[in-house]
Structure 1
Amino acid sequence: MTTEESAAPTLLGLPEMPASVYPAEVRARLDPDAQQLIERYPQSRSALLPLLHLVQAEEGFVSRTGIRYCAERLGLTTAEVTAVATFYTMYRRRPAGEYHVGVCTNTLCAVLGGDQIFAELQQHLGIGNNETTEDGRVSLEHIECNAACDYAPVVMVNWEFFDDQTPESAKQLVDELRAGRGGEVRPTRGARLCGFKETARILAGFPDPRPGAVDESGAGGAPSLAGLRLARGETLPGRSAGTRVVAPRRNPPLDSSPGDAANPATTPGAHDAEPPAQTAAADPAHPAGPVNGSVRQPQEDDQEGAAE
């Protein structure tokens, strides 16, 4: 670990300090792993994303030393590596806690309580966004959508899901993490928790060492599949026996029949219970569509224009 984290951060979130190099013992550990990652790609620069995860697994964030290491291994400039490291939010520019807590504050999670959860966690932990508690246990970040809207509001710890959270359950969660009981905390779905550095190594593309992790799916459950089941006309759990849900009625193709093409006002919309009223009936003074089944022909417009 370098001393970079003690330096004042720049606008990019990286410490304002010349990049040093990793000590020999660190390079001896990193070099074989880095080479393994690079050899997976026909172009070495394609290994940049996993290589950034690798240096993050070493220090708990992407430091200037890590950026210099990636640049040297891939034949890139430090500016090129920095551009990538500061674009993707999963790469931390400050040291992360052992457990990095992300609160989704995107639209659905926010309106269902995500904003309140994030605000109360900041107050409860005494830290702000992208900051870490003094004991180094927990860091906090508001994050964008993690494709778990059907379980909103969602909190993630080292990118494992904790669904249907409340301010109280979220505060209890971080208290258990700070008390050293992270190994006992089980996500709603997915594998058991591991530390942030261990998670970064897994994201770099190395085997997941957690027992049963491959078999513990983090995919969506019944709420994720509800729409598909409804579209198939299946019955959802909790409905009375024998009740069959029918998919919404769709508009027929435009060329389904001559009658539809001649009088589109008789074609119900996807969400209309009854065919919409003709335009003339809705606003007789300003008809803007077919009236009484007649369709104005372009020739009539041309003739009127010529007469004027």
Structure 2
Amino acid sequence: MSRLNDENLRVARQILSLYPKKKSALIPLLHLSQEQNGMVTNEAMEHIAELVEVTPAEVLGTCSFYEMFKRHPVGEYQINICHGISCHLLGAEDVLEHAEKSLGVKEGEITKDGKFSFEGVECIAACTEAPCLQVNYRYVNKVDSVEFDQLIADLQSGQKAEIPKHGALAKTRQQIQSEKLAGPAEVENASPPVWLQRNEDGQ
């Protein structure tokens, strides 16, 4: 299902209620869509556009700007292998080459069981821990080919419970008490801004 399902539509409305302007919920709803489908589909972007009252083009513009949002299928575990300068000097290319052999797929492809995909990415800001990678944006540091294979084995056996499947931004959704929800501030005895007063006075 590409549009938000009934359960996630209920969650989406809860998210919308947290913001004074519906458009502010655009990014959280993109995360919700990706959590449901593993990617952000065109149909989902159209649905989100309806919910936040903007055009589908605006949703696409936001979705395409952020690398974390995928508009194509990826594995349950998306592995981003850093090949920035520090990682490159310490063996990232060897890790990338080994990943292709170990998983039996090329960069950007998905394993037959749908569990894994990988790609080389630019610096992920963990240079002191090079070579490093991310699994669904959770860091794994100082990885060589042996540790890569162990990581894959642990993910397959469920021993990496701290790493959720792709699309899950967090294990728990933020809860905000109703009295602390955002909203327009009430200003008492507010005078108009100086520039407006000058315009009204013909200055």
Task: Identify the TM-score tier after normalising by the shorter chain.
Answer: 0.7 to 0.9
Decide whether aligned partners of structure 1 residues 104 and 72 sit closer, same or farther in structure 2, where only a CA change above 3 A counts: same
Of 65, 81, 101, 1:123 maps to 101
SS in 2 for 1:131: coil
- What is residue 84 of structure 2 aligned with on the other side? 106
- One-letter code aligned to 1:38: L
Q: Give the Cα separation in 1 of the matches to 2:120 and 2:24.
A: 29
Offset, 1:123:
2.7
- What is residue 168 of structure 1 aligned with on the other side? 146
Offset, 1:129:
2.6
Q: Which runs of 5+ in 2 are unaligned?
A: 176-203
Q: Give the Cα separation in 1 of the matches to 2:74 and 2:116.
A: 8
Offset, 1:207:
4.7
- What is residue 159 of structure 2 aligned with on the other side? 184
When the two structures are aligned, how many residues end up with a matched partner? 175
- What is residue 186 of structure 2 aligned with on the other side? none
Of 132, 137, 146, 2:115 maps to 137
- What is residue 16 of structure 2 aligned with on the other side? 38
Q: Which runs of 5+ in 1 are unaligned?
A: 3-21, 187-191, 209-308
SS in 2 for 1:196: coil
Q: TM-score under structure 1 normalisation?
A: 0.52
Q: Give the Cα separation in 2 of the matches to 1:93 and 1:129.
A: 16
RMSD: 2.2
Decide whether aligned partners of structure 1 residues 62 and 122 sit closer, same or farther in structure 2, where only a CA change above 3 A counts: same
SS in 2 for 1:164: coil
Q: Give the Cα separation in 1 of the matches to 2:77 and 2:138.
A: 11
SS in 1 for 2:90: helix
- What is residue 91 of structure 1 aligned with on the other side? 69
Offset, 1:41:
2.3
- What is residue 82 of structure 1 aligned with on the other side? 60
Q: Structure 2 matches for 1:152-231, cutoff 5 A?
A: 152-177=130-155, 180-181=156-157, 183-185=158-160, 192-197=162-167, 199-200=168-169, 202=170, 206-207=173-174
SS in 2 for 1:103: strand
Greater RCO, 1 or 2 (C-alpha within 8 Å, sep 6+): 2
Q: TM-score under structure 2 normalisation?
A: 0.77
- What is residue 45 of structure 2 aligned with on the other side? 67
* Alpha-carbon displacement from aligned partner over 1:179-236 (angstroms, at most 9, x marks no partner): x31x3137xxxxx222224x23x28x7159xxxxxxxxxxxxxxxxxxxxxxxxxxxx
Q: Give the Cα separation in 2 of the matches to 1:121 and 1:105.
A: 13
Offset, 1:137:
0.8
Q: Structure 2 matches for 1:228-267, cutoff 5 A?
A: none
SS in 2 for 1:100: strand
- One-letter code aligned to 2:73: P
- What is residue 28 of structure 1 aligned with on the other side? 6
Q: Percent identity?
A: 31
